Chains A and B, each alone.
Chain A
Amino acid sequence: MTEKSSSSPAVAGRGPIIDFMDPRQWHSGMTAKEGFWLEARSVDGSSVTLSPEPVKEGRRLTIPQGCQATLIEKNESMRPEPYTTQSKWEIILTEGSKLNHYKLVHEGPEATHHSFLEVDVRKSASFQSHVFLFEGAQIRNTIHVRMTGEDADCLLEGLYVGSGKRVIENHTLVDHQKPRGTSRELYKGILDGQSRGVFDGLVIVQKEAQKTDSAQTNRNLLLSTEAKAVSNPELKIFANDVKCKHGSTIGQIDAAQLFYMRSRGVPLAEARRLLVYAFASEMINQVEVPALREILFPCLNLATSIKK
């Protein structure tokens, strides 16, 4: 596993550096370790120290029974030259536990980032993932969630921003194996320049997974005629008593909204910026860590301001 420190100098033209490593930007009780922050509380609210164990090319994290944990992962660098980073996690949510996982990818302009997340959600456990893919030349985000216990719950959210020739791929799998699981998935792409965004999402409902309730949505906003969105939501259902839906949209900025704003005096560029923000803000506003929410908006600004 390759990880970098973020104490790199500013690259001209990249705007302000956001200091992800400054612990004052996170709320107290979080410990910073090689690019991730982990905080956990037990059922009675007392603080618990969790340590991921090293496994081949990655880490394994087990959330103890009834524990509520937050994991924030950032992959950030301002390095201008080509390089590759990888992040690989296996996460086991034992009975009744909960994990909020946040991931921010804000790599250098020539960087390749591969992220692999394998999650086992056991009985009555709840896994929430919020992924923000903002910078880098090639970003691949793979998340496999196996719902191995009854009444398991899962939320997958992603926001990806493409400009220049960036290629962003999202491959997600939610595998409902036991009854009464719920899963919600919403991935949104903002694609400018000649960038390419891929959403490849599969939801499987196994024969035993009756009463599964699943919804999957991918929405894309194309800001240029050369940007490309590929959307492939897929459902495989082997049970007969389930509630599942999926859908995807690919569209441009709404002309009526744009004219409405301009007719009130908002200049074209500002109106476009506001509408892109509006599209993205739904995802950022879901973030429950205030300090993270605050840096996501400037990151989004940086990512959307770089022109083709």
Chain B
Amino acid sequence: MLDIQNLQANVGDKQILRGITLKINKGEVHAIMGPNGSGKSTLANVLAGREGYTVTGGSVTFEGKPLLDRAPEDRAAEGIFLAFQYPVEIPGVSNSYFMKTALNAVRKHNGQPELDAMDFLKLIKEKAKLVEIPEPMLSRAVNEGFSGGEKKRNEILQMAILEPKLCLLDETDSGLDIDALQIVAKGINALRSPDRAFIVVTHYQRLLNYVQPDYVHVLSAGRIVKSGGKDLALELEKKGYGWLEEAKVAAR
């Protein structure tokens, strides 16, 4: 589904990604871990097409087509979703109107008929239950005045409505208490399917107790320094990231 080859990217003048190669197939859950500044979030943002990141080398294909020259909205319409580390507040635009506009834009792109107001309302109410979002929150402005936990739940709600093929979760667990973490994890797990892949970017192993990955990759200084199964996450939790960085220095 996603094929990343030797991806290099800058933020401003600073090189952050120094050659990432990663293949992700349908149905797989990949966790990307690593210390602060290792490039985890940069990878997620480059894949989603955020401005301010310059790809300086390598390639990415999504479902066989080049991804990096496409606009963010086209990537979303093709099935890529980024759950933000810091979801953005949009005063004056209601949550449900925003999601209806987004869903219908995606449906239009894919040649599907647009949903009318009634059908959409039914859909969003059903999906809101999944992440325990009360109905009044749907008519409030997007993320405005939401608590940290509410914002992250709202990200999962949007994901559930858009039903993407590839979900990028950027530090979705950060700032969540244990109850909110469980609700978010439940939402993510409900979306797991043989046709859908996940890249879970996280600093801590905590979320992976609830969302079990098939693969764990450790990023350090813009490269994948170690890959393994879900046990690698547990090892990291115990030993920290230091031993990998030391091993890397020794290998030079």
Give the interface of A toward B (CB within 8 A). Answer: 255-257, 259-268, 270-271, 274-275, 277-279, 281-282
Contacts and interface: CB of A to CB of B under 8 A. Distances in A.
B87 A265 contact: no
A128 B99 CA distance: 35
Contacts of A255: 51
Which applies to chain A's interface (DSSP): helix, strand, loop or mixed? Answer: helix
Contact of B102 (A259, A265, A278): A265
B88 A278 contact: no
Interface residues of B, number: 30
B20 interface: no
A265 B90 contact: no
Given A260-B87, A270-B101, A274-B98, A265 B77 contact: yes
B105 A263 contact: no
B105 A265 contact: yes
Given A259-B51, A261-B98, A266 B105 contact: yes
Interface string B33-63: 0000000000000001111000000000000
Contacts of B50: 259, 263
Given A274-B98, A278-B92, A265 B71 contact: no
Interface in B201-243: none
A216 B6 CA distance: 55
Nearest to A276: B92
In this complex, the member of A271, A275, A282 whose beta carbon has the largest number of chain B beta carbons within 10 angstroms is A271
Interface of B: 48-51, 71-73, 75-77, 81-82, 84, 87-88, 90-93, 98-99, 101-103, 105-106, 109, 141, 158, 162
A32 to B, nearest CB: 32
18 contacts: A259-B51, A259-B72, A261-B98, A261-B102, A262-B76, A264-B76, A264-B98, A264-B99, A264-B102, A264-B162, A265-B103, A266-B101, A270-B101, A274-B93, A274-B98, A274-B101, A275-B90, A275-B93
Contacts of B84: 260, 263
A281 B109 CA distance: 28
A265 B105 CA distance: 6
A271 B98 CA distance: 9
Top 7 closest A-B pairs, CB basis?
Answer: A278-B92, A265-B76, A264-B102, A260-B88, A262-B72, A265-B106, A262-B73
A265 B103 CA distance: 7
Contacts, number: 73
Nearest to B80: A263
B73 A265 contact: yes
Given A260-B87, A261-B98, A262-B73, A270 B105 contact: yes
A154 B102 CA distance: 40
B79 to A, nearest CB: 10
Contacts of B87: 260
B76 A278 contact: no
Contacts of B88: 256-257, 259-260
Contacts of B93: 274-275, 277-278
Contacts of A256: 88
Contacts of B92: 277-279, 281-282
Nearest to B107: A265
A263 B109 contact: no
A75 B75 CA distance: 45
B242 to A, nearest CB: 34
Nearest to B83: A263
Contact of B90 (A262, A267, A270, A278): A278
A262 B72 CA distance: 6
A81 to B, nearest CB: 37
Given A266-B101, A268-B73, A261 B90 contact: yes
Nearest to A264: B102
